[in-house]
Structure 1
Amino acid sequence: MTEAEAKAWLTTSLGVSRETMESLDAFVAFLKRESASQNLIAASTIEDIWSRHIVDSAQLLTFMDRSQPETKWLDLGSGAGFPGLIIALLTDFDVTLVESRARRIEYLQRAVEMLDIGGRVTVMGMPLERMKTAPFSVISARA
């Protein structure tokens, strides 16, 4: 899948709006800038960000009933924000990102602020074992 095909898939298969595509573009630009100073994604995948990371994250939505009210998504080891930040941009789900590395925590917090999704996205800067037990509708981990 080319980058153009990946973007087309998002709009045709998931119905992603122009405004959301603009937010995804802003996130990709932010991720590329940040990747220059920390190893967020493999350098070999930077030119294929849409097909290797964005669509890979977004495709999870095709495996679930998106009409469930009050979906709560838990993303373990969020790292560069995949899939958690992408899910948050594409849905109105409450998303919790769990990350224990200080630089990644700070990066995720800045991404959430830049994308203006702080009302629905929580960055838990701690190991999973330290989190309070809570119910979640979906749990993801991408490594």
Structure 2
Amino acid sequence: MHTNKNAVKNWFETELDVSRETMSHLELYADLVVKWQPRINIVGASTTEDVWARHLQDSAQIWPHLAENAQKEETKIVDFGSGAGFPGIVLSILGANHVTMMESVTKKTVFLMEACRVCGCLAKTRVARERIEAAKPENADIITARAFAPLPKLLEMGQRHLKAGGKYVLLKGRAYEAELADARDAGWKFSVTTFPGIVDPDGVVMILEGVER
């Protein structure tokens, strides 16, 4: 279903109270995704006509759940499998102070760096072109991910990158309950809070705290 772009922009203005400058950066970013898509296939081709809802709004819905911490000088967010920058670049545009985007595909990291430059995020972001399981520990306060990996694998890869007391803020689809069960079956313990998805009614924003094995 195609969503009205103006309605989504209105959501950013009314629900997230974004400034005119922030909205301008979001528009630059959306245009860049559409422009680069034919060349490097950074998002699903069928979703570019609805990039505002399917990608920007979908990513931005996690902002209220981490905004207070994300804007602090010392808070480090690490975004796994950033791809075209969802949600990492969106969070940076919205005001996150320190976002590291981990992406192993070179052509996608080239796009990420260009998007950070165009959207004025270079000073607040780092693009790490490396495999998550091989990279040195990131000591993240918050780990984010969208359409990245099933929860047991994500935790297996992510736990050494998360500092003590840190949390995961994830976007998950309709299979989230099965993923939670699989993670518990694999020996993971955690407290979980979920919030209904705004764009995908079958999906959720999932927050995991106290993760251990």
State the TM bucket, normalised to the shorter chain: over 0.9
Which structure exhibits the higher relative contact order, with contacts defined as CA atoms closer than 8 Å and separated by 6 or more residues? 1
Runs of 4+, deviation exceeding 6 Å: none
TM-score with structure 1 setting the length: 0.93
Please name the residue that 1:100 is paired with: 104
Partner letter of residue 34 of structure 2? Answer: K
Please name the residue that 1:88 is paired with: 92
1:34 aligns with 2:39: no
Summarize deviations over 1:33-71 as a string: whole Å, max 9, x none: 10011111112111111111101000001223x223332
Partner letter of residue 131 of structure 1? Answer: A
Please name the residue that 2:137 is paired with: 133
In structure 2, how many angstroms separate the alpha carbons of the residues matched to 1:37 and 1:75? Answer: 24
1:11 aligns with 2:13: yes
1:72 aligns with 2:85: no
Secondary structure in 2 aligned to 1:128?
A: coil
Report which stretch shifted further, 108-117 or 118-127. Answer: 108-117
Q: Calculate percent identity across the aligned residue pairs.
A: 35
Give the number of the structure whose residues are more often strand, by fraction.
2
Structure with the greater alpha carbon radius of gyration: 2
Provide the aligned length of Structure 1 versus Structure 2: 142
Give the number of the structure whose residues are more often helix, by fraction.
1
Partner letter of residue 35 of structure 1? Answer: Q
CA-atom RMSD in angstroms = 1.3
- 2:115 is matched with which residue: 86, 108, 111? 111
Secondary structure in 2 aligned to 1:122?
A: strand
